[in-house]
Structure 1
């Protein structure tokens, strides 16, 4: 028995080495970052700036001449570095999906078609090996979204650090997700390796079901004290008192217009289009109705063979110039979310906008869309100190080397499984 215990103790460090780093401890003393180029997130850039934060909140930000109490603070000289707001990933399955081929690690979809009561909140796993890899690229907040069915459930917003979902949550149940039935249905033929498009014969049936569901939910929301609690209807109550967004997955231009008008018929004011493949075709409609768009991954080929090959790269900037509030996401992805800053960089490279404007697609705009902009999204006095330090341009993979990351003022450990594997095999093969 003694030998077994000694063997266990000997192996313990190796077991611990494979675990995620422990979450950051709360900020214990004021911190002052000096000398860096500060990208505020609202288009403003402060050269040779200073930013101070205490108890998780930003207390001062400005040029080097800004008065801060350096004597009582931990001062970090960041000369030549860059400070950015934490990147915000929308529309992901981060925390509820781990290994695609292992069913036991997938907790993003429930059986059934109308599931507004399904919540990503309680399914979010802070032990995910994917989450630390996101922090390395500057992703400090993520919206975790249920998938499947017509009404998938409610999403919540989390910090990418915490012991459990109660620790990590930033906003609970920020919105209900609906997949609008498309006018056209696409099918893939594996024999010819081609995509065919035809009219969706089931569309009207799905819309009738949605009409019945939303009419019932609207009526239920008007009840002050219902005799019986209906969990499905109760989950949708926030849509009618404007405390929740209605996120509608829609790609075709006709579907986008139909979906927005459908929501408006039931008095829903906070509507967000997700996906938005053809959003540029109805940009004036979206602007006039104050409907933001959360675009899917833009590092892809165009959906239509007759579209310009760079159309997905150009669309964020075109929508932005048309007056539509835009965020960029990786749809229902989880492991590729780490590349999100580079989607914004591509948007700047292929659109007539600055990189500071493109930065807002993954910082300020997502925060405003989800209603957390009073806390995060830009670097301003009184907001949470959720920010990162890079050696260069966050939106360029050559410069996106994150040296420090802070979530609510707490310094986050940037170690992850992929870094450990890199060091392990670099040592094995003797490469520098």
Structure 2
């Protein structure tokens, strides 16, 4: 019996080893020089026939290949190819769930309504097979965000080549997330009510509850803090301006209320998430220096009187108003669909935004919104060498073919479970 137990245990260890993510790349030891590629810097600038050099995980030179400067280390021929900064996925629950149908793998939603002390980072699975599939499309970083409740908890920012959540984290607890109530509700058809939209009678009460909770947290932190209240303790960084607040809200009235209420509460590090209907109050958003994380473009209009293509044009409308706009991934199949992040940006590009402006949605703009623009988001000297080389336009799924990728200067593997299966079955009928 003892031997049988040992054999079973060894079998589980073997299977677990087979299903684990690739071993993370070691720290960069040799320098790299990418020469001749078209460099998309992520800030709107494009350098044809570029030279990009990096060592010790940092970018040393970004400029023209015509520059008379000695090349460093391994030289990569980039002629005919494109170089991009690593893409950043905002507002995603990547790594917090593996299989939706298996409850034990879902760690994105905790029990309770007001949970500012819940930290998504400690539940992040660095060996997730879903996370692994992001890298072949150039998605190399993400804001890992909890879901559920009124105050869901705190997000953290990670890079996608790590042994564990401690190694993955770029920024711990970057923001607290609040799910703002809707000013409209739908009738409960199963109770015989009209299924159409109608004013939400509980909206004022729900808003007051959020406001009072924040005021109570302020009073607690200003007092002797007894008895100890962990949720209120977790609000301290937000209330002293060292942490951002991401409010998930849509509709003209909710967006207007969010901006005005938090302004009165002296919470200024505000970011709107979803913000459907933001085009109607864009001036208010701009005047209050609020950034916006928009939804994926591939969705239907919210109401019958909206243009059919409004979801595709939202990013351009807000960008033209001078608002800093990023692209989030919350929604159906969000973890698996995050690999398509560049193609969602490409859709916004096709509807008036333009390629380089659309690129900002998942590079420099998102980095600025998340507060990591001093590290990543653009190809600039001194920033992390987190970048990739594509055979063509990385926002087009037909030409987004990545040959090499680097995270903090480390050359990472682009193999996934899917690429292994593709290689396996592509040889099936060759003989």
- Relative to the length of structure 2, the TM-score reads 0.93
- The offset of 1:93, in angstroms, is 0.4
* Aligned counterpart, 2:203: 203
Match of 1:44 in 2: 45
Q: Per the alignment, do residues 316 and 431 of structure 1 end up closer, same or farther by CA in structure 2, a change over 3 Å counting?
A: farther
Contact 1:218 1:266 in 2 (8 A): no
CA contact (8 A) 1:151 1:179 kept: yes
User: What is aligned with 1:21?
Assistant: 22
Is the CA contact (8 Å cut-off) linking 1:144 and 1:158 kept in structure 2?
A: yes
* Pairing 1:100-111 to 2, within 5 Å after superposition: 100-111=100-111
Is contact 1:38-1:46 (8 Å) kept?
yes
Displacement of 1:111:
0.8
C-alpha distance in 2, partners of 1:57/1:240? 34
How many residue pairs align between the two structures?
Answer: 427
For 1:66 and 1:103, locate their aligned partners in 2 and report how far apart those are by CA, in whole Å: 56
1:307 aligns with 2:314: no
SS at match of 1:136: helix
Pick closer, same or farther for the CA change 1:266–1:9 going to 2, 3 Å.
Answer: closer
Distance 1:19 1:345 in 2: 32
Equivalent in the alignment of 2:354: 354
Structure 1 segment 228-307 matched on structure 2, within 5 A: 228-307=227-306
Output the aligned Cα RMSD: 2.7
The CA deviation at 1:204 is 2.1
Segments of structure 2 that go 5 or more residues without pairing to the other structure are none
Counterpart of 1:174 in 2: which secondary structure?
Answer: strand
* Residue in structure 2 matched with residue 375 of structure 1 by the alignment: 375
Distance 2:209 2:74 in 1: 59
Give the distance between the partners of 1:265 and 1:319, measured in 2 at CA. Answer: 24
Query: In the TM superposition, what is the alpha-carbon distance from 1:421 to its structure 2 partner?
Result: 2.1
Within-5 A mapping of 1:167-246: 167-186=167-186, 196-222=196-222, 226-246=225-245
Q: CA 1:7 to 1:246, structure 2 compared with 1: closer, same or farther past 3 Å?
A: closer
Secondary structure of the 2:399 match is coil
Q: CA deviation at 1:5?
A: 11
Whether 1:138 and 2:138 are equivalent positions in the alignment is yes
How much does 1:218 deviate? 2.1
Match of 2:341 in 1: 340
TM-score of the superposed pair, with normalisation by structure 1: 0.93
In structure 2, what is the Cα distance between the partners aligned to 1:195 and 1:402? 47
- Distance, in Å, in 2 between the alignment partners of 1:169 and 1:142 is 10
Partner of 1:119: 119
Deviation string, structure 1 residues 292-346 (Cα, Å, up to 9, x no partner): 1101121111121232221100110111001111111111521100111111111
User: For the residues of structure 1 that align with 2:16 and 2:238, how far apart are their CA atoms?
Assistant: 46
